[in-house]
Amino acid sequence: MAEFTLDLNDDQKQVRDWLHGFAADVIRPAASEWDEREETPWPVIQEAAKVGIYSLDFYAQQFFDPTGLGIPMAMEELFWGDAGIALSIVGTGLAAVGVLANGTEEQIGTWIPQMYGDANDVKVAAFCSSEPDAGSDVASMRTRAVYDEAKDEWVLNGTKTWATNGGIANVHVVVAVVDSELGSKGHASFIVPPDTPGLSQGQKFKKHGIRASHTAEVVLEDVRVPGHCLLGGKEKLDQRLARARERAQSGGERVKNAAMATFEASRPAVGAMAVGTARAAYEVALDYARTRTQFGRPIIDNQGVAFQLADMRTQIDAARLLVWRASWMATTGKPFESAEGSMSKLYASETAKKVTAQAIQILGGNGFTREYPVERMHRDAAIYTIFEGTSEIQRLVIARTLSGMPIR
């Protein structure tokens, strides 16, 4: 078991510096343009593919880092460059992880390469889970998958929302209800192959922030997918549903808490994204405060500004430590007895919103204009307290974990 350390090893430092260089040289110069265009930055994704960042191999290497710090380190550096473009680069990973977690070896080998394409013809994938009436409340999901035994096909109907890459993806991974009586345990995931009839893009959202990341509804109208597109296969699904029915009668709360532990393990990655955005805004504000003069001296010499910067740096470092601790715990199998995953996501998300707002204040009128990036960073930071569970949901998870109440 890897011991917890705050020191990155030589390989990790090399990867960090490589990512930082890409973020500085490729992502940042393009950030303002793609934020204004509100379009997927295909040229930047292609550049990321050419150097090996936009690939399953890269994320697999970081995911299997025995210290657990590979993924949060990568997320922080990419999102330091720009949150919208970074999310366009890493968004396919959501669907890929869904297949890796639930798919057979054949499904993994068949579909994940189609999610990424190659450097000359990049593709993206979409993970479709949230619905208009089922965001945090996953048990309220309405999208249904019905098995047509005669044709060995699944028929999907419903509407998904807030889908990153939804509608423009080459491959969609769709979560649907197969047994409504089992709540979230009655869900299954399905691959919807390219050009499948009945799948269409609904509303494309014009967002407050992360504008370079495509977010849209996905409409499913009698979408038929072959039986082999059920992730894990039907035999495995039938066995899982049977176990869930038994457990629902004699230990349902334990099952729900086990499921919640899975969500806990993924939240530090979002915390790392927030740390990257907060760090970027802090660095702009620090540089500005050192060079901007008023009344004959740099504004950092004023205690009101200096103390703000001191608080910003302290909060960013504290957020990173919470993220690293939770990531290490998840990788080494240590239980989140106090909802450490939610703690890291909550604190980092709130820190990003606060730090980016303080950065605007330090830059004054300049910070309120689009000539400086902190205005965009502040808009981007708002998403961290919303997706992957709102801050209110994180506090609920933490509070119920501490009190011993069931997490529903």
Give the tens place of pLDDT for each residue, 284-296.
Answer: 999 999 999 999 9
Instruction: Give 94's contacts (C-beta < 8 A, 6+ positions apart).
Output: 125, 126, 127, 164
Residue 180 and residue 139 in contact, taking contact as beta carbons nearer than 8 Å? no
Q: Which two tokens stand for residue 48?
A: 């990321």
**pLDDT at 251 > cutoff 80:** no
pTM value is 0.92
**DSSP secondary-structure letter at 367?**
G
Tokens 């979408």 identify what position? 223
Convert the pLDDT of each residue in 317-355 to its tens digit: 999 999 999 999 999 889 888 999 999 999 999 999 999
Q: How confident is the model at residue 185 (pLDDT cuts 50, 70, 90)?
A: confident
The Cα–Cα gap between 61 and 71 comes to 9
**b or e along 321-352 (b: 16 or more beta carbons within 10 Å of the residue's beta carbon)?**
ebbbbbbbbbbeeeebeebbbbbbbbbbbbbb
Strand-pair category, 144-148 with 215-226 = unpaired
**DSSP secondary-structure letter at 190?**
E
Quote the pLDDT of residue 2. Answer: 61
What mean pLDDT is predicted for residues 99-118? 93
The Cα–Cα gap between 355 and 279 comes to 8
Quote the pLDDT of residue 101. Answer: 84
Helix (H) or strand (E) holding 380: helix 374-381
Q: Which two tokens stand for residue 96?
A: 């890929």
For 44, other C-beta atoms within 10 Å of its C-beta total 25
Q: Which two tokens stand for residue 263?
A: 């969500």
> Under DSSP, is residue 389 helix (H, G, I), strand (E, B) or coil?
coil
Instruction: Tell me how far apart the terminal alpha carbons of the chain are, to the nearest angstrom.
Output: 32
**pLDDT at 263 > cutoff 80:** no
Q: Where are the beta strands (DSSP E) in 227-318?
A: 293-294, 297-298
Percent of the chain with pLDDT over 90: 79
Instruction: Give 248's contacts (C-beta < 8 A, 6+ positions apart).
Output: 182, 185, 255
List active site positions: 388
Quote the pLDDT of residue 255. Answer: 42
Angle at 75 between CA 352 and CA 361, to 5 degrees: 20
Return mean pLDDT, the chain.
92
